[in-house]
Amino acid sequence: MGKLLTNMGKNLIFFIPCFLLLASLLHCIHAVQYIVTNKVPNTPGGKLFDREIGVNFTLLTLETVNKFIWKILEQRTAADIKNVPVVNLYISDFQGYAYKNGDNINVSGPALDMFYYPRNKSKFFFSSLMYHEMTHVFQWHGNFTAPGGLTEGIADYVMVKSNIYEKEKYTKFGSGSRWDEGYGVTERFLEYCDSLRKGFTAELNKKMRYKYSDHYFVELLGKPVDQLWREYKAKYGKKQVSTADSFGTMFPGVKY
């Protein structure tokens, strides 16, 4: 604990230990401002957001998710972390579920109204989505050279690690036809790669800071990605995987 000294018997002066001062400085360096705007408050989806989720809950969730992403992707210093001063989240009117645009997250009001059943699970569904979408804001993607399916898989990977997702309905191991198919298919493959080398997914993300190459799999695991995929499929080949399990999105056919 820090030392507490008195000055002239009246003024109190706290001396903060170095490690606490460092933690405070890192917090300032990593500080991100979150802004939440419901642009459709008078629509069914906008009303559901205000009633079941709310701005205050969303702000707390964004901060919690942000810190979790840094932890899971092992981004511990300012040098590791993407510089994102502000994250804007909008509840808007568009077809689909959600998408990232720059450092902005857009969530469909109509989708909230359509998919959030039962209503009392709305915060759970929304939190699960935030783990995915916020990862898109803070992950590396090789200056957009990484396969889209890989970045989607890493975003789902963080969501799965959070333990806030529908486990019974989620993609089964062995699903899919390509390692970079995206979402749950790629997420399960990344978990398999993690089993071969602890922290693989975080290391792969770090390597993608400036560019992407399939050779990163060789560097980290000693095998080409296509060989790893074949071995992964062989490991789970005896399992019967339904077509419904293969794509692995939160809601069938809906991308985010």
The model's pLDDT over 153-205, given as tens digits with 9 standing for 90+, comes to 999 999 999 999 999 999 999 999 999 999 999 999 999 999 999 999 999 99
pLDDT value for 21: 41
User: Residue type for 238, please?
Assistant: K
Are residues 168 and 122 part of one domain? no
Are residues 74 and 24 part of one domain? no
Are residues 121 and 225 part of one domain? no
- Our count of domains for the chain comes to 3
Are residues 114 and 57 part of one domain? yes
Bridging pattern class, strands 104-108 and 11-15: unpaired
Local structure of residue 187 (DSSP, 8 states): H
Cis peptide, bond prior to residue 118, ω within 30 of zero: yes
Distances, alpha carbon 206 to alpha carbons 76, 105, 140, in Å: 12, 23, 7
Are residues 39 and 15 part of one domain? no
In tens, the pLDDT along 119-128 reads 999 999 999 9
In tens, the pLDDT along 21-68 reads 444 444 445 689 999 999 999 999 999 999 999 999 999 999 999 999
Contact predicate 41/54, CB 8 Å:
no
Q: Which two tokens stand for residue 20?
A: 């606490």
Report the predicted TM-score, pTM, of the whole model to 2 decimal places: 0.86
Are residues 176 and 101 part of one domain? no
Q: Is the dihedral of CA 132, 137, 141, 144 positive or negative?
A: positive
Are residues 42 and 6 part of one domain? no
Are residues 95 and 61 part of one domain? yes
Are residues 114 and 158 part of one domain? no
Q: 200-207 vs 183-196: helix axis angle to the nearest 10?
A: 110
Are residues 110 and 215 part of one domain? no
pLDDT tops 60 at residue 8: no
Q: How far apart are CA 231 and CA 181, in angstroms?
A: 16
pLDDT value for 23: 42
Backbone angles phi, psi at 183, to 5 degrees: 50, -130
CA atoms within 13 Å, Cβ hemisphere of 240: 0
Range of 8's domain?
Answer: 1-31
Radius of gyration for the chain, computed over Cα atoms and rounded to the nearest angstrom? 21
pLDDT value for 237: 73
Bridging pattern class, strands 98-101 and 86-92: unpaired
Are residues 44 and 133 part of one domain? yes
pLDDT value for 250: 79
pLDDT value for 24: 41
